[in-house]
Amino acid sequence: MRALRRTTVLAASLVLALGAAPLAAPAFAATAPAPAAAHGTTTGDLDTAALRAALTGLPDQDTTFAAVRVGGRDGTWRGSAGVHDLESGAAVDPDARFRAGSTTKVVTAAVVLQLAAEGEVRLDAPVQHYLPGLLSREFKPITVRQLLNHTSGIQPGDGLGNSFEEVYAHRFDTLAPRQVVASAVAKGPEFCPGKQQHYLNINYTILGLLIEKVTGHSYAAEATRRVLLPAGMRDTYFPGTDPVIRGPHNRGYQTVKKADGTTDLVDVSDWNQADRWAAGDMISTTADLERLVNRLFRGDLVPRPQLKEMFTVPKGIEGADMSAGLQRFEFEGRVYWLKSGARYGYGTLIAATRNLSRTLVVSVGATDVKSENMNPVTERIARAALKQREPAGRTR
pLDDT at 141: 98
CA distance 265 to 342: 17
CA-closest candidate to residue 91, choices 219, 250, 228: 250
**What three-state secondary structure class fits 69?**
strand
What's the farthest any 2 CA atoms get from each other in the chain?
60
CA distance 307 to 289: 18
CA distance 149 to 130: 18
What's the average model confidence in pLDDT over 341-364?
A: 97
Query: Which has the higher per-residue pLDDT, 12 or 319?
Result: 319
pLDDT at 260: 87
Residue 193: HSE in the Cβ half-sphere, 13 Å Cα cutoff: 21
Torsion of CA 285, 291, 294, 296, to 10 degrees: -90
What's the average model confidence in pLDDT over 307-323?
A: 97
Kindly list the distances between the CA atom of residue 366 and the CA atoms of 95, 363, 376, 379, in Å, as whole numbers in the listed order.
17, 9, 9, 12
CA distance 93 to 276: 26
Q: Is the pLDDT of residue 28 over 90?
A: no
Burial zone of 80 (CB within 10 Å; 0-12 exposed, 13-18 middle, 19+ buried): buried
Indicate the average pLDDT of the chain.
Answer: 90
Q: Tens digits of per-residue pLDDT, 47-97?
A: 999 999 999 999 999 999 999 999 999 899 999 999 999 999 999 999 999
Q: Is the pLDDT of residue 360 over 70?
A: yes
Confidence at 37, pLDDT banded by 50, 70, 90: low
Q: Do 87 and 245 contact (CB within 8 A), yes or no?
A: no
With a CB cutoff of 8 Å and minimum separation 6, the contacts of 331 are 11, 14, 15, 386
Domains of the chain: 6-386 (3.40.710.10)
Question: What is the residue-wise DSSP string for 38-58?
Answer: EES---TT--HHHHHHHTTT-
Q: Is the pLDDT of residue 392 over 50?
A: no
Q: Do 117 and 80 contact (CB within 8 A), yes or no?
A: no
For the ranges 6-20, 182-196, 248-262, 317-331, which has the lowest average pLDDT?
6-20
Q: Tens digits of per-residue pLDDT, 116-158?
A: 999 999 999 999 999 999 999 999 999 999 999 999 999 999 9
With a CB cutoff of 8 Å and minimum separation 6, the contacts of 204 are 104, 105, 108, 109, 147, 278, 279, 280
Q: Tens digits of per-residue pLDDT, 269-283?
A: 999 999 999 999 999
Q: β-strand 334-343 against 346-353: which pairing, if any?
A: antiparallel
What's the average model confidence in pLDDT over 183-212?
A: 98
Q: Tens digits of per-residue pLDDT, 3-22?
A: 334 444 454 444 432 222 22
Percent above pLDDT 70 for the chain = 87
What's the average model confidence in pLDDT over 366-376?
A: 88
Strand order in the sheet with 334-343: 37-39, 77-82, 63-71, 359-366, 346-353, 334-343, 327-331
pLDDT at 8: 45
Question: What is the residue-wise DSSP string for 289-317?
Answer: HHHHHHHHHTTSSS-HHHHGGGG-PPTTS
CA distance 277 to 336: 26
Question: What is the residue-wise DSSP string for 176-206?
Answer: -HHHHHHHHHTT-BSS-TTS-----HHHHHH
DSSP 135: S
Name the pTM for this structure: 0.91
Question: What is the residue-wise DSSP string for 12-40?
Answer: HHTTS---PPPPPPPPPPSSPPPPPEEES
With a CB cutoff of 8 Å and minimum separation 6, the contacts of 377 are 54, 55, 58, 60, 62, 63, 66, 364, 366
**What three-state secondary structure class fits 329?**
strand
**What three-state secondary structure class fits 106?**
helix
